[in-house]
């Protein structure tokens, strides 16, 4: 039975690299009907915080990852780690080390000066029983080091293939620090053993830790899990993805208006391809087809253009009622949501969303494009006003056009188009000379869906009121020092 875990350290928000690890563990567990365990590695008490743990859980939930066991907090298991380290000492597989960091540093420098490669020189392994007892009785701070046996560690990484490391290259690493806190190697192996983890799937940055951990499994006489190390994610400049490339926290993508499923697809497709086509795959499809064997060894590049593409694709593919439920919290937050969008105005609202969505890459775009239709307030883009409302002829033309519109019984796209074109011809101006200013007055910007659709969706009353805003809108020009020509 597959049992995997995701083990973030709550020293910051969940970032995209860690999320990809979580996602592959989750897909693997779900594919095999196994168990996905969440473990919070908060042994570094100074750098970990509850707030960050909460933020990590929030990010996982947003993407749609659920866990079957946990969260297990390592900070609640300190006594256990100490006990296990002592057990290894009793079995002669680990030993107390009384060397202070300063002493070790001095000997390291001496070795370096002699041109030797330094690893811990086992000074404390060779202490006599009396010496040890004396130091312990004196209360000298003691760490516990693992006694690395001779031999070669070999294992088959599920992504990278066979890996082998000569134990001579591994120093007697610390399991328990002299302050009683466990090191990462100890806590991670104790927990993986206790939770009966079968596969450790994690980032490449842990590859060098694996031989040490395999030694520990053996020392604890526990079965060694399989390992799969995921390749590092790179930024577009092919350097390790980091904050330099922009905010890499998962929740920042939620806040920019990406849909969880699009983000899930984007992240899963870093190192794995769910199928031959570039498209949105459903969670069910990804769970069904996931396999560790198909993870590529090469480092994937974090390409935001692809995320945007997937997101706009999903925005356009989702059943409109689902898109509206995802959009709803965004509108609610800005008090733009009204219950009638699900009742009396349902049809109108759904059609409006369908009209607009092809121009949107994110929920933020969608919200902003909807705003002029559902809010009484309108913000005019100064550039658009300057470009299209400066023409003084509009002072005469707009009231005439308004009258034409007012007289219309059926305020439809076709009818408004007809009267606008007739009016343009009569006045000897191009239709565009009316269309552009009208667009700015109606939506505040120089871009929108087709103007006649906009008119129909805006409705007669709002359209007439917005045409009346002409002088008001032009005041922006003075405020921005643009002047009206
Ligand atoms: N806490 C470690 C990290 O955040 C993960 C440890 C592991 O997966 O073994 O990198």
Same-domain status, 16 and 50: yes
Cβ of 229 closer than 6 Å to ligand 1, yes or no, is: no
Cβ of 10 closer than 6 Å to ligand 1, yes or no, is: no
Residue 166 forms beta bridges with which residues?
152
Query: Does residue 45 lie in a domain region?
Result: yes
Same-domain status, 59 and 111: no
Cβ of 188 closer than 6 Å to ligand 1, yes or no, is: yes
Same-domain status, 303 and 339: no
Query: What is the residue range of 405's domain?
Result: 382-479
User: Which of the listed residues 5, 8, 17, 73 should we mutate to test ligand 1's pocket, taking the one with most ligand atoms within 8 A of CB?
Assistant: 8
Neighbours of 460 (CB within 10 A): 16
The CATH number that applies at residue 441 is: 1.10.10.350
With a CB cutoff of 8 Å and minimum separation 6, the contacts of 188 are: 7, 41, 213
CA dist 464 → 209, 322, 398 (Å): 70, 33, 10
Q: Could you confirm whether 243 is annotated as catalytic? A: yes
Q: 205 alpha carbon to ligand 1 midpoint, in Å?
A: 9
Same-domain status, 345 and 429: no
> Are the C-beta atoms of 71 and 38 separated by less than 8 Å?
yes
φ, ψ of residue 184 in degrees (nearest 5): -55, -45
Three-state helix/strand/coil letters over 278-321: CCCCCHHHHHHHCCHHHCCCCCCECCHHHHHHHHHHHHHHCCHH
> Are the C-beta atoms of 6 and 36 separated by less than 8 Å?
yes
Separation of first and last alpha carbons in the chain: 76
Residue 197 tokens read as 């983890």
Tell which atom from ligand 1 comes closest to the C-alpha of 209: 9
Query: Does residue 215 lie in a domain region?
Result: no
Query: Does residue 199 lie in a domain region?
Result: no
pLDDT of residue 463: 97
pLDDT of residue 88: 98
Cα–chain center distance at 385: 38
Separation of alpha carbons 433 and 451, rounded Å: 13
> Are the C-beta atoms of 146 and 91 separated by less than 8 Å?
no
Separation of alpha carbons 468 and 212, rounded Å: 75
Burial 363-393 (b: 16+ CB within 10 A, else e): bebbbbbbbbbbeeebebeeebbbebbeeee
pLDDT of residue 481: 55
Query: Does residue 188 lie in a domain region?
Result: no
The CATH number that applies at residue 55 is: 3.40.50.620
Tell which atom from ligand 1 comes closest to the C-alpha of 188: 9
> Are the C-beta atoms of 198 and 226 separated by less than 8 Å?
yes
Query: Does residue 485 lie in a domain region?
Result: no
Q: Of 283, 300, 317, which residue is a domain's last?
A: 317
Residue nearest to atom 6 of ligand 1 (CA): 7
Residue count of the chain, please give it: 485
Query: Does residue 386 lie in a domain region?
Result: yes
pLDDT of residue 243: 85
Query: Does residue 224 lie in a domain region?
Result: no
Q: Which among 224, 212, 227 is positioned nearest to 162, based on CA atoms? A: 227
Same-domain status, 449 and 407: yes
> Are the C-beta atoms of 120 and 111 separated by less than 8 Å?
no
Q: Provide the number of structural domains found in the chain.
A: 4
Residue 63 tokens read as 């993407």
**Tens digit of each residue's pLDDT, the chain (485 residues):** 999 999 999 999 999 999 999 999 999 999 999 999 999 999 999 999 999 999 999 999 999 999 999 999 999 999 999 999 999 999 999 999 999 999 999 999 999 999 998 999 999 999 999 998 899 899 899 999 999 999 999 999 999 999 999 999 999 999 999 999 999 999 999 999 999 999 999 999 999 999 999 999 999 999 999 999 999 999 999 999 988 888 899 999 999 999 999 999 999 999 999 888 889 999 999 999 999 999 999 999 999 999 999 999 999 999 999 999 999 999 999 999 999 999 999 999 999 999 999 999 999 999 999 999 999 999 999 999 999 999 999 999 999 999 999 999 999 999 999 999 999 999 999 999 999 999 999 999 999 999 999 999 999 999 999 999 999 999 887 776 544 43
Tell which atom from ligand 1 comes closest to the C-alpha of 205: 10
pLDDT of residue 485: 37
Residue nearest to atom 3 of ligand 1 (CA): 8
Q: 111 alpha carbon to ligand 1 midpoint, in Å?
A: 32
Q: Which among 279, 236, 245, 277 is positioned nearest to 261, based on CA atoms? A: 279
Cβ of 17 closer than 6 Å to ligand 1, yes or no, is: no
Separation of alpha carbons 234 and 257, rounded Å: 23
Same-domain status, 440 and 474: yes
Cβ of 7 closer than 6 Å to ligand 1, yes or no, is: yes
Same-domain status, 311 and 323: no
Same-domain status, 312 and 322: no
Separation of alpha carbons 309 and 96, rounded Å: 57
Same-domain status, 171 and 98: yes
Same-domain status, 300 and 325: no
With a CB cutoff of 8 Å and minimum separation 6, the contacts of 124 are: 95, 96, 97, 98, 99, 132, 145
pLDDT of residue 480: 62
The CATH number that applies at residue 114 is: 3.90.800.10
Q: Catalytic: which of 91, 134, 212, 243?
A: 243
> Are the C-beta atoms of 42 and 9 separated by less than 8 Å?
yes
Same-domain status, 62 and 97: no
Query: Does residue 183 lie in a domain region?
Result: no
Q: Of 297, 317, 337, which residue is a domain's last?
A: 317
Predicted model pTM: 0.92
Q: 202 alpha carbon to ligand 1 midpoint, in Å?
A: 7
Tell which atom from ligand 1 comes closest to the C-alpha of 202: 8
Same-domain status, 473 and 387: yes
pLDDT of residue 482: 47
């Amino acid at each position: 039975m597959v049992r995997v875990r995701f083990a973030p350290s709550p020293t910051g928000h969940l970032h995209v690299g860690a999320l990809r690890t979580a996602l592959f563990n989750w897909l693997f567990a779900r594919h095999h009907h196994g168990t996905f365990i969440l473990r919070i590695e908060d042994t570094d008490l100074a750098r970990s915080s509850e707030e960050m743990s909460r933020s990590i859980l929030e990010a996982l939930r947003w993407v749609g990852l659920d866990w079957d066991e946990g969260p297990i907090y390592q900070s609640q298991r300190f006594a256990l780690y100490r006990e296990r380290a002592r057990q290894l000492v009793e079995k002669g597989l680990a030993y107390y080390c009384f060397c202070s960091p300063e002493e070790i540093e001095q000997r390291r420098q001496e070795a370096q000066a002699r041109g030797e490669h330094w690893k811990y020189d086992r000074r404390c392994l060779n202490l006599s029983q009396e010496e040890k007892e004396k130091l312990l009785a004196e209360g000298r701070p003691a760490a516990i080091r693992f006694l690395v046996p001779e031999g070669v560690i070999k294992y088959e990484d599920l992504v990278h293939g066979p890996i082998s490391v000569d134990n001579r290259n591994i120093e007697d690493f610390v399991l328990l620090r002299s302050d009683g806190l466990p090191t990462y190697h100890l806590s991670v192996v104790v927990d993986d053993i206790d939770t009966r983890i079968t596969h450790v799937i994690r980032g490449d940055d842990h590859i060098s830790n694996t031989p040490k951990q395999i030694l520990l499994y053996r020392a604890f006489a526990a079965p060694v899990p399989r390992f799969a190390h995921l390749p590092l994610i790179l930024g577009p400049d092919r350097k390790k993805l980091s904050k330099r490339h922009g905010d890499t926290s998962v929740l920042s993508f939620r806040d920019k208006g990406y849909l969880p499923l699009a983000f899930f697809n984007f992240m899963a497709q870093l190192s794995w391809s769910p199928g031959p086509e570039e498209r949105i795959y459903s969670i069910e499809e990804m769970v069904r087809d996931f396999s560790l064997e198909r993870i590529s060894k090469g480092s994937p590049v974090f390409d935001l253009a692809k995320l945007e593409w997937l997101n706009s694709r999903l925005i356009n593919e989702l059943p409109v009622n689902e898109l509206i439920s995802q959009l709803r919290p965004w509108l609610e937050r800005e008090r733009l949501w009204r219950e009638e969008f699900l009742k009396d105005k349902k049809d109108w609202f759904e059609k409006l969303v369908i009209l607009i969505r092809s121009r949107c890459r994110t929920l933020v775009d969608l919200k902003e494009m909807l705003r002029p239709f559902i809010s009484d307030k309108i913000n005019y883009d100064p550039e658009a006003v300057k470009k299209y409302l400066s023409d003084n002829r509009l002072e005469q033309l707009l009231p005439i056009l308004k009258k034409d519109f007012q007289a219309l019984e059926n305020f439809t796209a076709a009818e408004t188009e007809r009267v606008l074109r007739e009016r343009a011809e009569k006045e000897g101006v191009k239709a565009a000379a009316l269309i552009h200013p009208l667009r700015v007055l109606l939506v505040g910007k120089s871009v929108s869906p087709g103007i006649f659709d906009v008119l129909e969706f805006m409705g007669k009353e709002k359209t007439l009121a917005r045409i009346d805003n002409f002088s008001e809108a032009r005041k922006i020009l003075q405020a921005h020092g643009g002047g009206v020509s």
